[in-house]
Amino acid sequence: MKCKRCRRADAAVDLPSHHAAFCPDCFFVFFRRQVTEGIRKLRLLAPEDRVLVCVSGGKDSLVLWDVLIEEGYETEGLYIDLGIDGYSDRSKEKVLAYAASRGKTPIVVELAKEEIPIPETARCVRMQECAVCGTVKRYFFNRVAAEGKFTVVATGHNLDDETARLLGNLLHWQRDHLARQHPLLPEADGGLVRKVKPLWRVSEVETAAYGFLKGIDYVTEECPMSEDATSLVYKEALSRIEDRMPGTRIVFYQGFLDPSNPMRKRPETATPAGGGPTPEDAPGADAVHGTEVAAEGGEGTARACVECGAATFTETCSFCRLKERVRKARSLRAATVSR
Amino acid sequence: MKCKRCRRADAAVDLPSHHAAFCPDCFFVFFRRQVTEGIRKLRLLAPEDRVLVCVSGGKDSLVLWDVLIEEGYETEGLYIDLGIDGYSDRSKEKVLAYAASRGKTPIVVELAKEEIPIPETARCVRMQECAVCGTVKRYFFNRVAAEGKFTVVATGHNLDDETARLLGNLLHWQRDHLARQHPLLPEADGGLVRKVKPLWRVSEVETAAYGFLKGIDYVTEECPMSEDATSLVYKEALSRIEDRMPGTRIVFYQGFLDPSNPMRKRPETATPAGGGPTPEDAPGADAVHGTEVAAEGGEGTARACVECGAATFTETCSFCRLKERVRKARSLRAATVSR
């Protein structure tokens, strides 16, 4: 089959949802156009933005970084070393190698050095790893962005991620989560940086094809902590529907984003006094990826955490409370051992 | 494993979504209670109702009839012989056998005698079989109900059917269809009888178990016309989610039925002058089962079809228009052959 765009080279990527097939070069053009259209339509980024790209070592975040660099955005990479045996080392290696190939050095946060590696922290506080990871990552996204004067944080969530989350939220009619789910979360008082998902229009298969054809080396293994994540069940269910009815995912997600969709509005009983969008740091924002994020308490305007100054809806932010719970669990264990 | 209810007999039916397992006798009690609760909660039926039960020969409709008889409702069965080679004969046999075992004789409508057997009609009018079937069935539900002075028509749709339809409607954000999807469609002017789905709370597996344990003989084959129906794709996707997370279906459907759910409201731009619910005979009511139903044109209050007097939103009802199209196609064919 010939490429549908140049009609000369052999097609290398078949895209039934777009009724198209492209050669590598034309696919790069197509893919970048999908991303830039996604950015333009929802006004995710402005040319003058300083973008902090959160890179995990997986295909999505490295492909995102690659496209943003190619499109001329001012970017830096942020790698959070979760302290997961083996997996974290392999991921970091991929991030450093990719960054070096673009003449970059990523910002690295090591959770082990911060004394909150994910596996041990989850055990200490008896929470699911994905929930702990969400709290910790959001904290560092905001902190590193503030310290480095970044205007926006970008993550590599693709169409498959977003629709799996949407399906999970709809199956349980999580009105609050639905109202907050969007590729753009505007910046908010108290140091909550704007967060964007520029890959929202491209599928996992498309992202993987872009990474592969571009020769980007990424970790292919799933995070070992998320193996049982419910989001994978939703993703698989949607994949089967998409296989039979190509294009369903994008119709589903674009229909959801339509401002006239009533699921975009927060339920009336829970509308904060000020109205308007609520940052994802509010309670339960990431319920589908793993389980409930530790509740931050009330709603309304964020204020500064009495411990660390980070934006929070309670006196002490969820990150500081997490650290405190880990500290207590550790001293309890030390006391038990020494007895 | 012992039955969770009587704790004496061996459990025969395992129901993870209810954290339960029952022996046959206790399962009958449980199943009938699920159905009667579903009827009570949504006020589907009153003791004085005369119920026309639409029976296809499949497990759901025969089980529905069985439960309604056991619960003391005044019922008659309606079998519509679709004129599908082999399948229709085998279905009718099951219906007649079940009816005889309860001392009943079902009302039978033969589409071949009406000169609109589904397969030939679909070919003539170049529509999907499921769409033709929906139009024809709705027409006869209303007509037979009126002729026999039935107060309500009951169909055997179960939780799996309803959630598959709901998922399909949500994936495409079919606001009009969503607003109309409900186990109770009230009667409306012009001869549209009330329509109810008393099995909305029970799953396909539960219905099959009830039919099997009760010794009800039913056709197990799917309608050969619906083999490719998209609803099966949605059903399968939800089955995989339910297997991993038992209870998801009922949470999904009950959350949808909650009157505070904004998807229950019709989109403002399309609200008919009179407000209130719109009968399922309105345009596109059954889009998920197969494809679009032939549009009936405008919205608002139903009036009498100039041809047959049935309720319609246009001058001639969709059933009469269908018959007219078949008649034209046939005379065209006859003319071509004789030339």
From the list B173, B238, B251, the residue facing A261 with the nearest CB is B173
Q: Can you spell out the DSSP letters for B203-251?
A: -HHHHHHHHHHTT-----SPPGGGTT-HHHHHHHHHHHHHHHSTTHHHH
Residue A118, pLDDT above cutoff 70: yes
More confident residue, A4 or B295: A4
Residue B281, pLDDT above cutoff 60: no
Contact between A237 and B233 using a beta-carbon 8 Å cutoff? no
Q: Which of B76, B92, B73 has the alpha carbon at shortest distance from B84?
A: B92
Mean local confidence (pLDDT), B158-181? 96
Contact between B172 and A233 using a beta-carbon 8 Å cutoff? no
Mean local confidence (pLDDT), B171-192? 92
Mean local confidence (pLDDT), A14-29? 94
Residue A334, pLDDT above cutoff 90: no
Residues of chain A above pLDDT 90, percent: 74
Question: In the prediction, which pLDDT does A19 show?
Answer: 92
C-alpha–C-alpha distance, residues A100 and A93, integer Å = 11
Report chain A residues whose CB lies below 8 A from the CB of B245. 230, 233
Mean local confidence (pLDDT), B92-118? 96
Three-class HEC string of chain A: CECCCCCCCECCEEEHHHCEEECHHHHHHHHHHHHHHHHHHCCCCCCCCEEEEECCCCHHHHHHHHHHHHCCCEEEEEEEECCCCCHHHHHHHHHHHHHHHCCCCCEEEECCCCCCCHHHHHHHHCCCHHHHHHHHHHHHHHHHHHHCCCCEEECCCCHHHHHHHHHHHHHCCCHHHHHHCCCEECCECCCECEEECCCCCCCHHHHHHHHHHCCCCCCCCCCHHHCCCHHHHHHHHHHHHHHHCCCHHHHHHHHHHCCCCHHHCCCHHHCCCCCCCCCCCCCCCCCCCCCCCCCCCCCCCCEECCCCCCEECCCCCHHHHHHHHHHHHHHHHHHHHHC
Q: A51-85, pLDDT tens digit by residue?
A: 999 999 999 999 999 999 999 999 999 999 999 99
- Map tokens 């089955």 to a residue: B239
Residue B196, pLDDT above cutoff 60: yes
C-alpha–C-alpha distance, residues B339 and B332, integer Å = 11
Question: A220-229, B2-11, B180-189, B269-278 — which is least confidently predicted?
Answer: B269-278
Contact between A258 and B173 using a beta-carbon 8 Å cutoff? yes
Q: Please compute, for residue B83, the number of CA atoms within 13 A of its CA located in the half-sphere on the CB side.
A: 19
Q: A122-145, pLDDT tens digit by residue?
A: 999 999 998 999 999 999 999 999
C-alpha–C-alpha distance, residues A223 and A91, integer Å = 10
Report chain A residues whose CB lies below 8 A from the CB of B178. none
Contact between B245 and A230 using a beta-carbon 8 Å cutoff? yes
Question: A92-106, A246-260, A312-326, B32-46 — which is least confidently predicted?
Answer: A312-326
Report chain B residues whose CB lies below 8 A from the CB of A245. 230, 233
In 3-state terms, what secondary structure has residue B311?
strand
Question: In the prediction, which pLDDT does A295 show?
Answer: 30
From the list A230, A237, A267, the residue facing B237 with the nearest CB is A237
Q: Which of A189-198, B32-41, B223-232, B267-276 has the highest mean pLDDT?
A: B32-41
pLDDT tier for residue B313 given thresholds of 50, 70 and 90: confident
Residue A199, pLDDT above cutoff 90: yes
Residue A273, pLDDT above cutoff 60: no
C-alpha–C-alpha distance, residues A22 and A5, integer Å = 7
Q: Which of B277, B289, B176 has the alpha carbon at shortest distance from B226?
A: B289
**B117 CB contacts (<8 Å, ≥6 apart)?**
B82, B83, B84, B111
* Region for A300 from its dihedrals, namely left if φ exceeds 0, alpha if ψ lies in -120 to 50, beta otherwise: left
Question: Is the pTM above the cut of 0.80?
Answer: yes
Crossing angle of helices B118-125 and B318-338, rounded to 10°? 80
Question: In the prediction, which pLDDT does B50 show?
Answer: 98
Q: A276-293, pLDDT tens digit by residue?
A: 444 444 433 333 333 222
Distance from CA of B233 to the nearest CA of A (A): 6
Contact between B255 and A230 using a beta-carbon 8 Å cutoff? no
Q: Which two tokens stand for residue B36?
A: 């009667």
**A338 CB contacts (<8 Å, ≥6 apart)?**
none
Q: Which of B85, B105, B84 has the alpha carbon at shortest distance from B95?
A: B105
The interface predicted TM-score of the complex, written ipTM, equals 0.86
In 3-state terms, what secondary structure has residue B51?
strand
Report chain A residues whose CB lies below 8 A from the CB of B171. 241, 248, 251-252
Q: B208-242, pLDDT tens digit by residue?
A: 999 999 999 999 988 888 766 788 999 999 999 99
Burial class (CB in 10 A: 0-12, 13-18, 19+), A339: exposed
Contact between B173 and A248 using a beta-carbon 8 Å cutoff? no
Residue A198, pLDDT above cutoff 90: yes
